Structure 1
Amino acid sequence: MIKGEDLTASCNALSSLKTSTVWYKEGKQVGKGNTLHLQDATYDTTGEYKCEVTVPSLPALKTSGSVNIIVQGGPQLIGVEQEVQLEEVQGMMINLSCEAVGHPLPSISWSIIGGQHWLEVEVVNKVNEHMARSVVSVQVTSDISAQCNASSEMGTEVKTFSIRAVPRATTTAPFSPVDRSGGIIVGIIVCLLLLAILGSVLYFLYKKGKIPCGRSGKQEISNKEITKDDIVVEMKTNLKTEETVLLKAVNGGKGMPNDK
């Protein structure tokens, strides 16, 4: 069959009894009756169809036949997206896969722009008799555009991979002089704010009487002023000392009469 065509298949068996006909594809029932109608054929239509004829009154009596249908047409890439957008970290190796179906079997080639290092790591020209598959490994050194070309004598189909290279994340960022001066200014402002808050708290506590502010110390110093009696006592002590010295001098260095 040509892709897009319609087909009617028939299956007949001679019997003197009433028969029943059922159609199967890959073990699944796809129709009943002597005829099978296939419309607008696609590559999914391809496969083996089996008709099974039985006699309902005598289940042991049955026969079968099969037909293999091949849909012919140009390459068809698997996947609904004709253009794939990707983001990958610079330096990474990524694999791009391309699969195509068709009859005759298509061949796959690659066209890569922007990739300095790439390698076709897997080529499967025949996954089955109607599908081809190819995988390339590409190192992301910059933005890359990769095209998968599936072609045969029936036509060509292209799928594009657009890869944007993302810089690798770094843990530290260099400081510029502007950034450093800005940090110093911010630090100074924060310190001034903290000092202002601290001053406000201390003033509030002082007004509430929580902080004596050194008054008791001043009172202790004032209470310890030298009194008149202390001066007299001290002067008496000094006079006694001077009197003793004088007496010793008069007596020629001898002690007091009462000194023993």
Structure 2
Amino acid sequence: MDYETKIRSEVENWKRKITKRSSMVKRITEKAQGKLNQFIPEKAHQLITESIKKMIQTTLFGSDFLTKKRDTSALSLEEKEKLIKEKLAVYRKTAAVEGAGTGAGGILLGLADFPLLLSIKMKFLFEAAAIHGYDTSRYEERLFILNVFQLAFSSEEHRKKVLSIIENWEQEKVHLMDVDWRTLQEEYRDHIDFVKMLQLLPGIGAVVGAYANYNLLEQLGETALNAYRIRLLDNSLKKIDTE
């Protein structure tokens, strides 16, 4: 089996996994998270909202996450994905260490984790795009990155909408001149794992923070790999059709 055939199968399995109905355990956890949210200070919710809004603005218009454009045209898709996985391992470790450090400090340092973790996630996504050879200084590439982010951290229903955008990117991108940051921040906030909220609690925050951050980066890495696969495989099919 060649690599392209292998990843096509992996992409289909992944799409089924992210679009299937949530398990009962997941739904119960989400309800518990909703109740826990009531005990989190309003300051925390405001910080999350402002952090996400700032992250979106920086992603679309800033230079904080820009990476040097690299020539990877000579690399195969398998080689590019190996590089991305190596980068993911570094960012995953960084996120875990950062989560443990802020989690150990209780609620005040726990609050500081949200903007820091957002920055780590965005830097990874910009790296992944650059490895695939995309110019991250272009607005449309930044929009794609934000859609990958949404695909990783959204509700079941919203994921389906974003997946459709990713699958039809060449047609959809012309209609996406801006991002609904309010929807994005609400989806992200509501998707944050129940365990992530526990990071704000004293005593267990360090262990919880490291575990949550590691897994959130793992989830983002899997989403990024498959989102770019969908885009690249779609382009390869179009080339075949025009030949």
Q: Normalising by the residue count of structure 1, what TM-score does the alignment of the two structures yield?
A: 0.19
Task: Give the structure with the larger strand fraction.
Answer: 1
Q: Which has the higher contact order (CA 8 A, sep 6+)?
A: 2
Q: Normalising by the residue count of structure 2, what TM-score does the alignment of the two structures yield?
A: 0.20
Give the structure with higher Rg (CA).
Answer: 1
